[in-house]
Amino acid sequence: MMRRIFILQLFICCFFSSSAQTKRSLALPVIGKPIWNISSAQGYIYNTEGQWLSTPNRILGTESSAANKLLWNYGRSNVGIDNFRSIELREIKVEEFHYFLLIKKMTDGYYKYKTLAEGWVGFTSLYYMVIDTPRIVMKDSNLTEIRADIIYAGAVYIPTANFLQEIGLDINKKRLGAEKDISSLYEGNTFRFIIEKHGSKCHFYLGEFETSDKLGLRFIPSYSEYMFEEKPMESFYYETSYSTISPFLKFTND
């Protein structure tokens, strides 16, 4: 009897030791250099007063007013519905699988005393998506819509100079199932890149969307969840030169 118990204990120890070794030996994804990027665009929002408001690299909330521009850089207005410091596309290899990696660096933050809207704490975040090969699902003379399946998505708050390694480690956590129901996080949601050409310029928005066309929970600042009712291109968008956006198209399967 004691011999059987000893053998069982030995088997359990070997199993967990082997499992732990497998987790420790999981190789980091291989991330390439940027193959497309954007660092400057003008953000537009149609506010509740019937005005279009514009700020560099940021889309204000609909409650913002042209009469109170001083408040545009205060608290959550400094984050807005969306903002970015840079957006870049890289190639990434996860084991034998080849994908694309979108990285969005942005201004983020939260109220320390949320109910009082006081004690704003600002910081930098990196939001990322690992996506399959983008595909053009609609294209006419002026409008192009690109979609891609989301493989992994996450965020690195207050990133360091080794942010690529931090992203790789976060991806591996998801691969190891450290977060529950990982597959369900992305079910029904998709990456979308909407481009509307206006001469030499274009309006655009890119991010994660639910099937209802509302914004999803990733790729936007953590405090902008209160603004989900707004729809891109109708109520808000970014504007830049078409020559800045068009190189992205060569990475589609069109």
Per-residue pLDDT tens digits for 154-164: 899 999 999 99
Report helix, strand or coil for 57.
coil
111 with 117: CB under 8 angstroms? yes
Contact partners, residue 92, CB within 8 Å, separation at least 6: 29, 30, 31, 32, 98, 99, 100, 101, 130
Alpha carbon distance 83, 43 (integer Å): 8
d(CA 237, CA 239) in angstroms, rounded, equals 7
Which carries the bigger pLDDT value, residue 185 or residue 68? 68
Answer whether residue 15 is part of any domain. Answer: no
**Predicted confidence band at 62 (pLDDT cuts at 50, 70, 90)?**
confident
Residue type, 96: E
Residue 189: is its pLDDT beyond 80?
A: no
Amino acid at the residue 17:
S
**Is residue 212, in this structure, part of any structural domain at all?**
yes
Q: What is the number of structural domains in the chain? A: 1
Q: What is the pLDDT of residues 104-127, one digit of tens each?
A: 999 999 889 988 888 999 999 999
Side chain identity at residue 62, one-letter code: T
Q: Is residue 68 part of a domain?
A: yes
| Domain presence at residue 4 | no
Q: Is the dihedral of CA 150, 155, 159, 162 positive or negative?
A: negative
Per-residue pLDDT at 145 exceeds 90: yes
129, part of any domain: yes
Which structural domain range is residue 208 located in? Answer: 33-251
pLDDT exceeds 90 at position 197: yes
Predicted local confidence at residue 137, as pLDDT: 93
- Any domain includes 82: yes
**Better pLDDT: 58 or 190:** 58
